[in-house]
Amino acid sequence: MKGRRLWLLFQIGFTVLLLSGCDKLDDSGDAISEILPGTWLFSYDLQSDEDPGLMFSYDQVIFTDDGNCVITYPGGQMDGTYRANGSVIRIDGIINGETHTMLWRVRSFARKKIVAEYDFELGRQHITAIVTLDRDV
């Protein structure tokens, strides 16, 4: 009985070690910056305790090799710059003369898909946007 518990404890510990060692986001700080340049289709899902009553429309995000980016939406665009390292994409841009900074925490990524989350406040309400970028081919 004692041997079984020890074996089970060993298996659990090994599994935790194995899973934490396979986190691609922590292993390579430059991996996200290498795949980011290009055109990405943009979608999102808002998560909040209450219905925020918000609806945004975005078409695409273009990240260039030189650190510039453009987020397009119906009737306009936000021009800015970006930096990507570790598991964060920082976007600094200007919309209607106002400077905005967005920090997207990357949840997962591959060559053709990036899923990130972005937290912001609207009034007294905390909202998390789950941003999905699909590479436009």
pLDDT tens by residue, 102-120: 999 999 999 999 999 999 8
Indicate if the alpha-carbon torsion angle 136, 128, 34, 81 is positive or negative. Answer: positive
Cα distance between residue 107 and residue 104, in whole Å: 9
Global pTM value: 0.72
CATH architecture of 25-135: Beta Barrel (2.40)
pLDDT tens by residue, 31-45: 898 999 999 998 888
75 pLDDT exceeds 70? yes
Phi-psi region of 94 (alpha: psi -120 to 50; beta: other; left: phi over 0): beta
Identify which has the larger pLDDT, 85 or 16: 85
